[in-house]
Amino acid sequence: MRDAIVRRSFLLAAIGAAAVLACPGRSSAASFAQWVEKFRPRARARGVSDATYTRVMGAVKPDTAVYALDQAQPEFTEEVWQYLNRRVSDWRIMTGKERAKEHAALLARVEDEYAVDRYTMLGLWGMESAFGDVVVNLKLMRPVIPALAALAWGMARRRSYWEQELLNALVIIERGWAKPADMIGSWAGAMGHTQWMPEVWLHMGVDFDGDGRISPFGAPDDALAGTARYILTRGKYKRGVPWGYEVRLPGKLGGGARTFAAWRQAGVVRADGEAFAHPGEPARLWRPVPGGPAFLLTRNFAAVKSYNPSNNYTLAIVHLGDRIRGAGPLVQPFPGGERTPTLAEVQEIQRRLTALGFDTAGADGRVGRDTMVAVRAFQRKAGLAPADGYAGLKVLARLRQGG
C-alpha cells in the first residue's frame, strides 16, 4: 500500500502545517521543547530515568507530517470483494505456504502455548506486514518516537492515548528492549511483523526466542507469540474452535446466536458441503453484502477481530489462513465481483502499465499504492469507470486491447 500518500505530498504538507498552526502553543520548536520538559515528570512516574528521557527526547524533532496522515481520508475505496481479492492474493497465499514450512516448528510452539490456530496466525502476519516485508522496507516505515511525540504534543484528538503510547515506548527503551533508532513503524506507531503498538509490545509481548528481550522486529518468534497471547487473553480465543464457515441459507433468517446444530436444523448448510464441526458451539450469521456469501461466525472470529475492530479485516485474515491451509476460494460470488487475478496476471498488468508510462515500481505481482495509482491513472485515460485503482481482470482485458 505504498502509493496513497505519495500522490498528495504537497497537500499533506499543507494540511500538516495547518494542523500545527491550529493547535494553540503547538507551532514552534520552542514550544515543543517546553512541552518536552513539562512531560518529563510523566515519564519519570512511569519509571523512565532522567538520563534515558534526556537522551531520547532531548534531541527529538516532532514528525508533524503525521497530522496530515491522521486527518487524511482514504484515497481509495474498495468493495468487499476487491478488499478480499487484494489481500487474499496469489502472492500472499504462496508466500504464506512457504512461511508455514519455513517456520513450522515455531508455529507449532505458538499454537501449543497460546491456542491460536497456526494458519490464523499466518493470515494475520500476511495481512499486517506481508510476512515481515514492511519491517525492512524503510520506504513504508518512519521513526516511531518523533511520530508519537508529535501526536502527544500537537494532536488534540485522542491526546491522552498518544501520551500513553509515547510513555509506553519510553518504558520499552528504558528496559533495553530497543534503541530509539530501532523503533520504526507506521505513522501511528505500529511496529514489526504483526504491527504492535507500544502498549501491546509492553504488556502482551513475549520473549519467545529466549534472547533476553522482547521485540516485534528481527526473527518473528516474539511477534507471533505475543500476538497469539493477545488474541487468547484479550480476545478470549477458544482452542480448537473454527472461526466460522461460509454457509448457504434456505431463505431469510433472523439474527442472534444459535448453535451450529440449531442453524443446521433451520436449513443452513456449509457452502463446501461438509458437516459442521462442534455442533454445540454458538455462532452468529453475517452477510457482508446483500446477495453475497454468508458466514456463520464463532467466538474465535471475534477473538481475531479484537486485534483490529473490522469485520472485513478479520474475514481477510481468516480466509487467507484457510487458503494457506489448502482450502479453496469462497464458493459464492459477490455481486458484481471478479475472481482474484493470478500472480502472473497481476505481473502482466504491472508490466503493461509500466510500458505505457504508468510506472508501477516493479512487476512483482503484489498490488501496493504504486500499482493502484498507476491503475487509476490508466483507468482515467482509458475512460474506464469507476477509476478505483483496482488491478483486476477488466483492467487487464483493456490493457491487452492496447489501452
Q: Which fold has domain 78-141+186-243+298-337?
A: Lysozyme (1.10.530)
- What integer pLDDT is reported at residue 28 of this predicted model? 74
What's the chain's average pLDDT?
Answer: 91
- Contact 296/268 with Cβ under 8 angstroms? yes
> Which among 215, 201, 225 is positioned nearest to 121, based on CA atoms?
225
Span 387-403, average pLDDT: 94
Give the pLDDT confidence of 179-199 residue by residue, as tens digits.
999 999 999 999 999 999 999
CA distance 268 to 86: 29
Instruction: Say whether pLDDT at 31 is over 60.
Output: yes
Position 391 pLDDT exceeds 60: yes
pTM exceeds 0.75: yes
Q: Is the pLDDT of residue 21 over 70?
A: no
The stretch 87-92 carries a mean pLDDT of 96
Question: Angle CA(194)–CA(136)–CA(362) in degrees, nearest 5?
Answer: 110
* Residues forming CATH 1.10.530.10 domain(s) in the chain: 78-141+186-243+298-337
In the prediction, which pLDDT does 71 show?
76
What is the rounded distance in angstroms from the CA atom of residue 201 to the CA atom of residue 188? 14
Run of H or E including 283: strand 282-286
Mean pLDDT for 62-72 is: 87
Q: How far apart are the C-alpha atoms of 369 and 124, rounded to whole Å?
A: 20
The proportion of the chain whose per-residue pLDDT surpasses 70, expressed as a percent, equals 92
Q: Nearest to residue 83, comparing CAs of 388, 394, 325?
A: 388
Range 38-54 average pLDDT: 98
What is the predicted pLDDT for the residue at 76? 76
Q: Tens digits of per-residue pLDDT, 247-282?
A: 999 988 887 899 999 999 999 999 999 999 999 999
Residue 80: predicted pLDDT: 96
- Tell me how far CA of residue 191 lies from CA of 58, 132, 141, 166, 209, in angstroms: 23, 10, 9, 13, 18
